[in-house]
Every structure is written in structure tokens, then in C-alpha cells.
Amino acid sequence: MKQTGGVYRKSLRGEAAFMLPMLLCFVPVIIIPFFYAVYIGFMRWNGISQAKEFIGLLNYATIFTSDPQFWKSVWFSFRQTVAITVISNVLGLTFALLVSSMPKNMQGLPRTLLLLPNIMGGVIMGFIWRFIFQKVFLSIAEIPGLGFLGQSWLGEPGPAFWAIVIVSAWQYSGYTMIIYIAGLTGIDSDIKEAARLDGPSPLKEFFSITLPLIMPSVTVCIFWVMVKTFTMYDLVSSLTVGGPYGTTTTVSMNLYEEAFSRNNYGLGSAKAIVFFVFILCISLLQVHFTRSKEIEA
């Protein structure tokens, strides 16, 4: 028993030593700034002067009673997150099924090409696609039947919303494809062979067997895309700059403008905390729902 206890304590010390470098990065970069933002959220502070005035819950009262632009940005971020999450996951799963059906020696190139957009930075992506929407699409629109591509993609609220969705879904679908390929690879071939003895159609086989077995991958992909999209800043800033008329302003852009453009760090920090709670609730609901499907599977 003593020997077992000693081995267990050594194992714990080894795990603690292994986690120490991560904690040394995580605590000063994430934990301390988070609690400092909570503290600043109760203050009136311009971010420059030494004096900070404690005002209690006034910043939060302002958010919920007299800041319609913040809630407008929350509603936009929510809508774009739903659209991007659905489209990027459907595309990623479709690409994964197509690539997985190919011979293994031919899978490398499509994987690389589809994953490449996710490696590119959001600012670069925004400027590239701004050129495509404003120049390339205008040229293609001259072809009969493709005139709809010549619309003002970045100058009107509706097209601008879908422009962001198109670019983001194109960027994220490659990453979700990789995760779905890993999930598909982990399915035991004996399970599929046994199911095929009953002669189900390919569609029924997918929804009855394949999809339930890759639900852990679905959970990860939906969570990852949701968090990335909710906190999006660089892509929208370089693609639409929040326009037209502020209709594509994300919450991250609203927070940045409040804190760094209007020098209202207290209200900006309070908004960040409110948005954090909002994302946390949405994420917990999503993970709970998809994990319940994993249990059923």
C-alpha cells in the first residue's frame, strides 16, 4: 500500500510539473486580465488617468437601458454565428465524406487545399475577398446568367452579411473537415459491414450509423466555430469595417470602439463581461445538447 501511495504521489507531482508551463502562461494572460476586467467594470475610467471612480453597477445599467448599439451588435454576431456554424459544419462534413471515400494516396492534396484558408490570417482574408467582391465579381457578372454577382456586396446590409458568412464558412470548413475525417476514421469498419447486411440506403446509413458515431466530432466542431465566430474582429474589420451604416459591427468591434476609441474602459470592460456570460451560456447549452446525442449514440 505504501509503495502504491508513493507511486501515486510521484504521478501527481509529474502531472503538476507537466502543467506548470501552461499555468505560467494561462494565469497572466487569461486569468489575471479577466478579473482585472471585472474590477474595471465597476469603475469610470478613461484608461489614461491614475484616478478611477467607483460607480458600482452603473456601467451595467447603462448597457441594459441605454446602449442599443451594443445589443444591435450582439444580435448581428448571433445571426452570423448561427449561419456560419451551420454552413461551415455542413461543408466540412461533406468534404470529409468525399475525401474519406478517395484512395488514401490521393487524400493529401484536397486536405491541404481545403485547410489552407484556415491558416491565413483574418486581415489578409478580408482584403483578398474585398478585392474579389468589388472587382472580380463585377467582371464575372458580365457573363449571362451571373448578373447577380454584380450587386453591391459590401455596400448594402443584406449582401454584406452574406459576404461575411461566405468568407468565414469557406475559411472554417477546412478545419472542421479535418476533425470530421478523424471521427470517420475512428469508426469501426465491422459496425458498418454489419449494418449493411440489412441493406439500408446510403442516406439512412449516414443518419442512423455514421452521424451518431461521429457526434463527439460534431460537438468539437460546433463549439470551435461558435467561439471563433462570436469573437470575430479582424475579418469583419478588414472586409466591411462594420458597415454599411454599422450593420455589420460585431460585439468585438463595439467593445474595441468603446474602450479604445471613446476611452471608456469601464463601460467597455462591463460589456466584455456581459458578452462573456452570454457566450458561456450559449456554449454550455450547445455542449449539453450535442453531448446528450453522444450518450444516445
What CATH number is given to the structural domain containing 106?
1.10.3720.10
Q: Using 50, 70 and 90 to split pLDDT, how confident is the model at 148?
A: confident
Distance CA 164, CA 157 (A): 11
Residue 11 is predicted with a pLDDT of 61
Asked if the structure places residue 21 within a domain, the reply is: no
Q: What is the model's pLDDT at position 187? A: 78
What is the model's pLDDT at position 157?
Answer: 87
Written in H, E and C, the secondary structure of 224-240 is HHHHHHHCCCHHHHHHC
pLDDT for res 12: 58
**Cα–Cα distance measured from residue 165 to residue 178, given in angstroms and rounded to the nearest whole number:** 20
**How many Cβ atoms sit within 10 Å of the Cβ of residue 267?**
25
Q: Confirm whether 35 is domain-assigned.
A: no
CB 239 within 8 A of CB 167: yes
Q: Which of 128-132, 200-204, 284-288 has the lowest mean pLDDT?
A: 200-204
**Of 170, 175, 137, 167, nearest in space to 235 by CA:** 167
Residue 119: pLDDT over 90: no
Q: What is the pLDDT of residue 295?
A: 54
**Where residue 14 falls among pLDDT bands split at 50, 70, 90?**
low
Residue 87 — very low, low, confident or very high, per pLDDT cuts 50/70/90? very high
Whether 17 maps to a domain, the answer reads no
Distance CA 84, CA 213 (A): 24
Residue 199 has pLDDT above 70, yes or no: no
Selection from 27-41, 86-100, 127-141, 280-294 with the highest mean pLDDT: 86-100
User: Span 138-162, mean pLDDT?
Assistant: 84
By residue range, what is the domain housing residue 248? 67-296
Classify residue 51: in a domain, yes or no: no
Residue 12 included in any domain: no
Q: Rounded mean pLDDT of 94-103?
A: 88
Q: Quote the pLDDT of residue 282.
A: 92
Does residue 3 have a pLDDT over 80?
no
The predicted structure's pLDDT at residue 200:
67
Residues 185/100, Cβ–Cβ less than 8 Å: yes
Range 129-151 average pLDDT = 83
The pLDDT confidence band at residue 249, using thresholds 50, 70 and 90, is very high
pLDDT band at residue 297, thresholds of 50, 70 and 90? very low
Give the per-residue pLDDT at 285.
92
Domain assignment of residue 36, yes or no: no
Average pLDDT over residues 122-136: 87
Where is pLDDT greater, at 146 or 240?
240
Q: Tell me, what amino acid is at 209? A: I
Largest CA-CA distance found in the chain, in angstroms, rounded: 82
Residue 20: what are its φ and ψ, rounded to 5°?
Answer: -60, -45
Task: Give the cell for residue 156.
Answer: 448594402
pLDDT mean across residues, the chain? 85
Angle at 57 between CA 54 and CA 62, to 5 degrees: 110
List beta partners, residue 53: 44
- Most confident option among 120-124, 132-136, 188-192, 271-275: 271-275
Q: Give the residue-averaged pLDDT of 95-117.
A: 86
Residue 88 above 90 pLDDT?
yes
So what's the pLDDT on residue 1? 45
Which of 9-13, 49-53, 112-116, 117-121 is predicted least confidently?
9-13
pTM of the model: 0.87
pLDDT of residue 17: 72
How many domains does the structure of the chain reveal?
1
- Judge whether 140 and 146 are in contact, CB under 8 Å: yes
Within a domain: 280: yes
Whether 288 is covered by a domain: the verdict is: yes
